[in-house]
Amino acid sequence: MAKRIMILATDGFEQSELEKPKQNLEEAGFETVVVAPHDGEIKGWQHTDWGTPVKVDMTLDQAEEAEFDALVLPGGVMNPDKLRKEAKAVQLVKDFCDAGKTVAAICHGPWLLAEAEVIDGRTVTSWPSIRTDLRHAGANVVDRECVQDGNLITSRKPADIPAFSEAVIKAVQQQEVAEPA
């Protein structure tokens, strides 16, 4: 049975930060499931305008941590800002962290880690404009391509996607397969 990875996103996700890790994870043999607050499709953001829609596989209200092996949080300014207002999204981040499963966030994605209060005392990286928020949440913030602190993996920007994807793949390969609830 292939390991399952939840990609939690909504309208305004950074196009490359969802699509490229998703492709890399699938090429590594994992099943990816795009989870969003609503069904249908979510719209990506590409540079200065709307990008290509991505199909939603499961709605947020249907998603449970126990059915997945890892969680990926793409960036984009709008995406995590909207998701951190969704109680279920914040709870999922907490649940994955509490279970010790891989939680990977890139660019503005770590905003959800701060909202879920799971970065106090942890070392993370992110897009420069949210680093103060992460420090205020208790994180040790560094400026590196990819940072892994236990089960948390963070990266700064689209150029970091190769290192980000490699770290996620390696971490998930080392985990046990989640049993469906």
Domain count, the chain: 1
Residues involved in catalysis: 107-108
CATH number (domain holding residue 30):
3.40.50.880
Q: Quick check: is 179 in a domain?
A: no
Q: Quick check: is 45 in a domain?
A: yes
Per-residue pLDDT of the chain (181 residues; tens, 9 = 90+): 789 999 999 999 999 999 999 999 999 999 999 999 999 999 999 989 999 999 999 999 999 999 999 999 999 999 999 999 999 999 999 999 999 999 999 999 999 999 999 999 999 999 999 999 999 999 999 999 999 999 999 999 999 999 999 999 999 999 864 454 4
**C-alpha span between 9 and 67 (Å, rounded):** 17
Strand order in the sheet with 152-155: 58-59, 31-36, 4-8, 70-73, 102-106, 152-155, 146-149
Q: Quick check: is 180 in a domain?
A: no
Q: Quick check: is 152 in a domain?
A: yes
Domain residues for the domain of 138 are 4-173
Q: Quick check: is 125 in a domain?
A: yes
The candidate with the shortest Cα–Cα distance to 72, out of 115, 119, 142, 19, is 19
Q: Quick check: is 54 in a domain?
A: yes
Query: CA 72, 167, 45: angle at the middle one, nearest 5?
Result: 40
Q: Quick check: is 178 in a domain?
A: no
